[in-house]
Amino acid sequence: MALFPIRTFGDPVLRTVAESVDEITSALVRLVDDMFETMYDAPGVGLAAPQIGISKRVFVADVGEGPFVMVNPEIVERSGEWEYDEGCLSVPGKFWEIERPAFIRVRGLDLDGRDIEIEGDELTGRVIQHEMDHLDGMLLLERLPRRVRKEALRELREEALGLRVADG
């Protein structure tokens, strides 16, 4: 197992639509182990492969009810609305109130290549939707109302600039 550095805001891999997984290989199984290790170490409740620089449609999650992994997930049902103070390991230390469907059902593959369905509401539903956005090259910033997003982007750019200046 190995820890990966988590890619952060500004890294182009986070804006790239990830590729479907054609085949469940032992390399993919090892990657998923590393993703879990990286997620727990962060610590976080979900991690998508692009966040460690791998542009593949895989995410892992554990909201405290046990770990799960999904390969090539697709949303098959969503309903309700739920507002939650959402954060992202790729935008560290920032949280925004974001409204998304409360309930979600997704279909995909497990690591044995079997078709599985996972459903969840509130936090589980939220994490699944958040991680699936990563697979589509989308950060939570894109879920913010326009004015809030503009302000958030300005703040993030200023901080990035500040860091570069501090680095010399």
Residues that bind Zn ion (CB under 5 A): 88
In contact, 103 and 149? CB cutoff 8 Å: no
Partners of residue 87 on adjacent β-strands: 95
Closer of 97 and 113 to Zn ion (Cβ): 97
- Residue facing Zn ion at closest CB distance: 88
Smallest gap from residue 147 Cβ to Zn ion (A): 22
Query: Which one, 24 or 63, has the nearer CB to Zn ion?
Result: 63
Of 23, 97, 119, 131, which one is the catalytic site residue? 131
Per-residue burial over 105-130, b = 16 or more CB atoms within 10 Å of its CB, e = otherwise: bbbbbeeeeeebebebeebbbbbbbb
> Nearest distance from residue 37's CB to Zn ion, in Å?
17
Token representation of residue 116: 């599985």
Query: Is there a catalytic annotation at residue 131?
Result: yes
| Residue closer to Zn ion, measured from CB, 88 or 104 | 88
Distances (CA, A) of 85 to 52, 78, 82, 119, 123: 23, 19, 10, 21, 10
Beta strands in the chain (DSSP E): 46-48, 58-61, 68-79, 82-88, 91-100, 103-109, 115-121
- Least separation in angstroms between CB 26 and Zn ion: 27
Q: Which is nearer to Zn ion, 88 or 118 (CB)?
A: 88
The CB-of-24 to Zn ion minimum distance in angstroms stands at 24
Active site amino acids: 131
